[in-house]
């Protein structure tokens, strides 16, 4: 049995995140832990006086709707019971919410959160700063989901030959071996006329985890229409390496993943060491 960390911040209750957790639990019984966070991370608002770090300026607490959070916790528990899911509820009251979430991720196999609602009270332009931080700081893989999306039935593997991309693919297969029969497309970007990076090696690995695997190299012309292709193929879940690392090739860089998240069209699985 695996442990899923299902994240809710402030007054938000993500129907999309719960939908994914329920879907995964139907494939394989899991422990689902609901983490209910403060509506703001005070590390970003604490100021310091001219006397330096030893003299922090007091900060007025951000208004927290405790009744809304309590209501969401009760809703989570009721929905879990109705779905027959084993669950736990954590009310994280620490002022440094993202630091607390990072600690929670250390003791989970997978985190699920809304790519659309996550701290949208701070910024609705996703991925906002909070989401970018947790993508860098998490100590377990994450599935990011929009609020309205189709549950995936196919896998899209973003591969550039780099360690992060291969690590993400392996983490996905270890977590979800029951997706073996899903149609799976492994894509890489043609760069400067170079060959498919380590083609034989990645095919040997991926073919043992995905029965219906196809591999494709995307050229510059295809790259221009790739986001349009993703938006019209909502049955896929994108699997990508770590977020915002400079060694990633252009198509699988921070900007690429950010654009997919911003479009709110498909679920995205992200993992890094």
- CA–CA separation, 188 and 210 (whole Å): 17
Q: What is the pLDDT of residues 152-168, one digit of tens each?
A: 999 999 998 989 999 99
Q: What is the pLDDT of residues 88-135, one digit of tens each?
A: 999 986 667 888 999 999 999 999 999 998 888 888 888 888 888 999
CB neighbourhood size of 224 (10 A)? 10
Could you state, in order of their start, the residue ranges of all structural domains in the chain? 2-145, 154-270
Q: Which pTM does this prediction carry?
A: 0.87
CB neighbourhood size of 250 (10 A)? 12
Q: What is the pLDDT of residues 129-150, one digit of tens each?
A: 888 899 989 999 999 999 999 9
Beta strand 142-145 with 110-114 is parallel
Kindly report the average pLDDT of the chain as a whole number: 85
For domain 2-145, the CATH superfamily is: HUPs (3.40.50.620)
Please give the backbone phi and psi of residue 10, each rounded to the nearest 5 degrees, phi first: 55, -130
Decide: 190 and 217 in contact? Cβ < 8 Å.
yes
| Mean pLDDT, residues 218-245 taken together | 78
- Output DSSP code: residue 56: B
- CA–CA separation, 206 and 186 (whole Å): 9
Give Cα 62 distance to the centre of its chain: 26
Fold of 154-270: Rossmann fold (3.40.50)
Please give the backbone phi and psi of residue 15, each rounded to the nearest 5 degrees, phi first: -65, -35
Lowest mean pLDDT among 70-84, 131-145, 258-272: 258-272
Decide: 68 and 38 in contact? Cβ < 8 Å.
no
């Amino acid at each position: 049995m695996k442990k899923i960390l299902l994240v809710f911040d402030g007054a938000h209750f993500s129907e999309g995140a719960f939908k994914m957790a329920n879907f995964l639990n139907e494939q394989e019984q899991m422990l689902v832990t609901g983490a209910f966070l403060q509506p703001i991370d005070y590390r970003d608002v604490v100021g310091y006086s001219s006397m330096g770090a030893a003299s922090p300026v007091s900060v007025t607490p951000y208004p927290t709707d405790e009744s809304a959070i309590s209501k969401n916790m009760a809703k989570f528990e009721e929905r879990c019971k109705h779905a027959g899911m084993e669950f736990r509820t954590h009310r994280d009251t620490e002022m440094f919410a993202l630091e607390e979430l990072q600690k929670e991720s250390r003791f989970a196999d997978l985190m699920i959160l809304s790519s659309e609602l996550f701290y949208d009270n701070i910024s609705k332009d996703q991925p906002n700063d909070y989401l970018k931080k947790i993508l860098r700081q998490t100590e377990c893989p994450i599935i990011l989901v929009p609020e309205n999306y189709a549950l995936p039935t196919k896998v899209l593997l973003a591969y550039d030959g780099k360690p992060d991309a291969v690590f993400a693919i392996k983490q996905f297969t270890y977590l979800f071996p029951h997706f073996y029969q899903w149609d799976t497309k492994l894509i890489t970007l043609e760069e400067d006329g170079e060959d498919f990076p380590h083609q034989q090696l990645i095919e040997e690995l991926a073919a043992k985890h995905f029965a219906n695997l196809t591999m494709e190299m995307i050229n510059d012309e295809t790259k221009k229409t790739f986001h349009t292709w993703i938006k019209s193929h909502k049955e896929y879940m994108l699997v990508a390496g770590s977020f915002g690392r400079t060694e990633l090739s252009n198509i699988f860089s921070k900007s690429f993943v950010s654009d997919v998240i911003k479009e709110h069209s498909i679920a995205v699985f992200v993992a890094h060491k």
